[in-house]
Structure 1
Amino acid sequence: MDKKSVLLQQLTMLHNRDGWFVSFDHAVKGLTSEQASWKTGESTNSIWEIVNHLRFWNQRYLNSFKGIVTGKMEGDNDSTFINLDHLNWAETIASVVEIFREWHNAVKECEQEKLDSPVPHDSGTTWGQALSNLTIHTAYHIGQIVHIRKTQGSWGPELGVD
């Protein structure tokens, strides 16, 4: 299996096909905005904040991959958890789902050489490496979402990964 096929499979698994871990769609399915906003404490992130973070980084790298100038990042990584666009919960989820679709299409349509080329703002990393890191990063946060749901009681064994 070539690099492009592996990345496409990873993107699909993250978005909507359960495998060794649940997909994003499965992890957030049926969540209300109240459940998504729930936190165990002030120093922890809510599911909604985690989804904002995923939205920020996936969109930023997607824009760069497509050649859209992203500009210098305002703030630090902590600011990526904030809902800066003031989207409601349904809009936030729809936005992330659309970003995943766009990522899949962009990788599907790109030439292999693109995946071997350097990321403009990270000269030591190729696009293939960056996408691999981005998928691992997203999978990590999907795991956090499931853990938070288990802690709050909104994840039952019927949903899997018990």
Structure 2
Amino acid sequence: MKNTHEIARRFREVILNGTWVANTNYKHQLTGLSWELATAKSESLNTIALLVQHIHYYINGIKNVFTGGNLEIRDQYSFDFAPVRSQREWEDFLTGFFNDAEELTSLIEQMPEEKLNAVFVDEKYGTYQRNIDGMIEHSYYHLGQIVLLKKILANRR
């Protein structure tokens, strides 16, 4: 199997359909989740919705580079989102999130193998491989938070 296909599979696992590392994924955790629960606060912790919007922000930023655009994302803006105010908004957001994740997965699969070791935008950001691996690790980090938040919020009800 090509490295790009293996990396794409790992990214798809964490967001869309895997259970190997965490025994769950974003799609499993978020499908059917009400917008009220997704936006519920627990003390000073981020909401589930905010964590998912944060991951989506980075997916879109990386996807933009893969499609020939500039790296326009900035860490300082990675938690600045309008609040979700209805179930319809939440479901529309999730549809876009999952579609964008699938698009990035396809771009990774189609990428020439040698590009994995190429500089990603600027040398200070490392290689394409490093950025994809970082996105996967970052996604798992926040997936763990989402799982814990769901348990905390469920115990409050």
Please give the range of the TM-score, normalised by the shorter of the 2 chains. Answer: 0.7 to 0.9
Where in structure 1 are there 5+ consecutive unaligned residues? 155-162
Asked whether the 8 Å contact 1:18–1:26 carries over to 2, the reply is: no
What's the counterpart of residue 101 of structure 1? Answer: 102
| Alpha-carbon separation, structure 2, partners of 1:3 and 1:17 | 18
CA RMSD of aligned residues (A): 2.1
Is the deviation greater in 30-39 or in 64-73? 64-73
Where in structure 2 are there 5+ consecutive unaligned residues? none
Aligned residues: 150
What's the counterpart of residue 39 of structure 1? Answer: 41
Shift of 1:17: 2.1
Asked whether the 8 Å contact 2:49–2:84 carries over to 1, the reply is: no
3-state SS of paired residue (1:119): coil
| Alpha-carbon separation, structure 2, partners of 1:6 and 1:47 | 28
What's the counterpart of residue 3 of structure 1? Answer: 3
1:21-56 deviation per Cα after TM superposition (whole angstroms, max 9, x unaligned):
111101112110000001112x31000000110111
Which structure shows the higher strand fraction?
1
TM, length-normalised to structure 1: 0.83
| Alpha-carbon separation, structure 1, partners of 2:29 and 2:3 | 26
1:69-148 → structure 2 map (5 Å cutoff)? 69-71=70-72, 73=74, 76-77=75-76, 79-84=77-82, 88-148=89-149
Which structure shows the higher helix fraction?
2
What's the counterpart of residue 61 of structure 1? Answer: 62
Asked whether the 8 Å contact 2:9–2:105 carries over to 1, the reply is: no
Asked whether the 8 Å contact 2:115–2:128 carries over to 1, the reply is: yes
TM, length-normalised to structure 2: 0.85
Shift of 1:112: 0.6
Asked whether the 8 Å contact 1:38–1:46 carries over to 2, the reply is: yes
Asked whether the 8 Å contact 1:36–1:46 carries over to 2, the reply is: yes
Is the deviation greater in 90-99 or in 119-128? 119-128
Asked whether the 8 Å contact 2:125–2:131 carries over to 1, the reply is: no
Q: Matched residues, percent identical?
A: 21
